[in-house]
């Protein structure tokens, strides 16, 4: 009699048919595109397939013999225990989980467990659905932006008419305002300008301007942006540190739109450093004909929960912010066929990364 322990269980093979069948199931287990691991009733992992090794970033040698609960992060163990409690109660269960793999971005998994596929052995099958989740999030964001665009057009139109009248009458009253009321006048005009700025951002969301791409020097665009904001930075005791690769290729872009993005990100960086600090701006040439721009501050940072919401409609970390600035910035970068993302550590600051193609036509 021959015994096979490859999948973690023993079975006698009295003839060639069973041996062939055993090899077939072994191939299905090893070559499955979904991650799979077998575990016994003591919650010890008996075997895992290659897909599971790749998804979890753990080798078979390191994982076999360990407890199921050892391979999950500490903050997910209660969630996992509840999953397996339901498995023992109902014989099978399906769940979803989100956690970091090797310090990488968050990964989303669907997983299902079935008890007693053979005596003393249970199986858990899981698949990485991160890409699917991200696409769904992008679709939801896109749909939300479309709705907001329609609302923005109506709101901006309704507000702009009385706003025009208010600004006109305030200007007429300027000459008759007494000295002791000057501060009131300044506050009113300042707030009216702020409302006007918000209306303009609404209109940009409602009907983005047609972008006319030109071949421009990204380094020059950034230099002009920093020169524009240098006075504000000095008032807040903020210094700029710049590092640009030489030479950098010209890129096809709408320079004023990119400048709007850089102004928004740098102004935000200045505002999150009330006690001063440094803003580090780097521009480098990457592989695949891309330019990488990073803008790093030394502010108070953003939590993981909040950083994933940046760019969403009306989400802001500022007390008086609207979230419109980042929404517009994200849209501009998307229109340039680029990618914008942020990473942050609370208490140490935030860095925004922008990747732009040298020629957006190659990314259509």
Taking only the tens of pLDDT, the chain with its 364 residues reads: 444 444 554 455 456 666 767 777 778 888 788 888 888 888 888 888 888 888 877 788 888 888 888 877 777 888 888 888 888 888 888 888 887 765 556 788 888 999 888 888 889 898 888 888 877 777 666 666 666 666 666 777 677 778 777 878 777 777 777 777 777 778 888 788 878 777 776 666 655 556 678 899 999 999 999 998 888 899 899 999 999 988 889 999 988 889 989 998 999 899 888 889 999 999 999 888 899 999 999 988 887 777 776 766 555 555 555 556 787 788 888 888 899 888 888 888 999 999 999 886 655 4
CATH at 342: 3.30.565.10
Residue position matching structure tokens 């790749």: 54
Tokens of 145: 């932006």
At 280-316, the pLDDT tens digits run 999 999 888 899 999 999 988 887 777 776 766 555 5
Q: Tell me, yes or no, whether 4 lies in a domain.
A: no
Q: For residue 234, what is the DSSP state? A: H
> Within this chain, do residues 268 and 345 fall inside the same structural domain, yes or no?
yes
The backbone torsions φ and ψ at residue 82, rounded to the nearest 5 degrees and listed phi first, read -65, -40
Taking a C-beta distance cutoff of 8 angstroms, is the pair 323, 176 a contact?
Answer: no
> Within this chain, do residues 245 and 351 fall inside the same structural domain, yes or no?
yes
pTM over 0.75: no
> Within this chain, do residues 215 and 148 fall inside the same structural domain, yes or no?
no
Single residue among 186, 207, 228 that ends a domain in this structure: 207
Q: Tell me, yes or no, whether 302 lies in a domain.
A: yes
CATH at 150: 1.10.287
> Within this chain, do residues 122 and 199 fall inside the same structural domain, yes or no?
no
Q: What residues form DSSP beta bridges with 97?
A: 109
* Furthest CA-CA distance within the chain: 108
Q: Tell me, yes or no, whether 7 lies in a domain.
A: no
How many domains does the chain contain in total? Answer: 3
At 80-104, the pLDDT tens digits run 888 888 888 888 888 888 877 655 5
> Within this chain, do residues 108 and 192 fall inside the same structural domain, yes or no?
no
Domain that holds residue 164: 130-207
Burial class (CB in 10 A: 0-12, 13-18, 19+), 184: exposed
> Within this chain, do residues 271 and 147 fall inside the same structural domain, yes or no?
no
């Amino acid at each position: 009699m021959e015994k096979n322990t490859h999948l973690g269980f023993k079975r006698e093979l009295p003839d060639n048919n069973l041996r062939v069948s055993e090899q077939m199931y072994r191939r299905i287990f090893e070559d499955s595109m979904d991650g799979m691991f077998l575990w016994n009733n003591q919650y010890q992992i008996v075997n895992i397939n290659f897909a599971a090794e790749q998804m979890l970033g753990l080798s078979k040698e390191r994982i076999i013999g360990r407890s199921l609960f050892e391979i999950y992060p500490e903050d997910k163990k209660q969630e996992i225990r509840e999953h397996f409690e339901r498995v023992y109660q109902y014989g099978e269960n399906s769940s979803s989980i989100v956690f970091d793999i090797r310090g990488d971005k968050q990964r989303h998994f669907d997983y299902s467990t079935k008890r007693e596929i053979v005596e003393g052995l249970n199986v858990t099958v899981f698949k990485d659905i991160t890409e699917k989740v991200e696409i769904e999030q992008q679709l939801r964001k896109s749909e939300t932006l479309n709705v907001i665009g329609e609302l923005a057009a109506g709101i901006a139109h309704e507000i702009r008419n009385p706003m025009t009248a208010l600004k006109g009458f305030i200007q007429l009253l300027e000459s008759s305002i007494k000295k002791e009321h000057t501060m009131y006048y300044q506050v009113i005009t300042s707030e009216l300008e702020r409302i006007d700025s918000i209306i303009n951002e609404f209109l940009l969301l409602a009907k983005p301007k047609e972008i006319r791409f030109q071949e421009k020097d990204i380094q020059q665009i950034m230099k002009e942006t920093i020169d524009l904001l240098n006075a504000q930075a000095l008032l807040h005791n903020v210094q700029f540190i710049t590092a640009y690769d030489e030479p950098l290729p010209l890129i096809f872009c709408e320079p004023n739109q990119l400048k709007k993005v850089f102004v928004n990100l740098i102004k935000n960086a200045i505002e999150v450093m009330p006690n001063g600090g440094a803003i580090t701006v780097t521009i480098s040439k990457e592989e695949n004909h891309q330019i990488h721009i990073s803008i790093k501050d030394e502010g108070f940072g953003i939590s993981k929960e909040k950083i994933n919401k940046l760019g969403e409609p009306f989400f802001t970390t500022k007390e008086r912010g609207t979230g419109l600035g980042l929404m517009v910035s994200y849209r501009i970068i998307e229109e340039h066929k680029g990618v914008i993302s942020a990473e942050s550590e609370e208490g140490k600051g935030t860095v925004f990364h922008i990747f732009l193609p040298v020629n957006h036509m190659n990314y259509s």
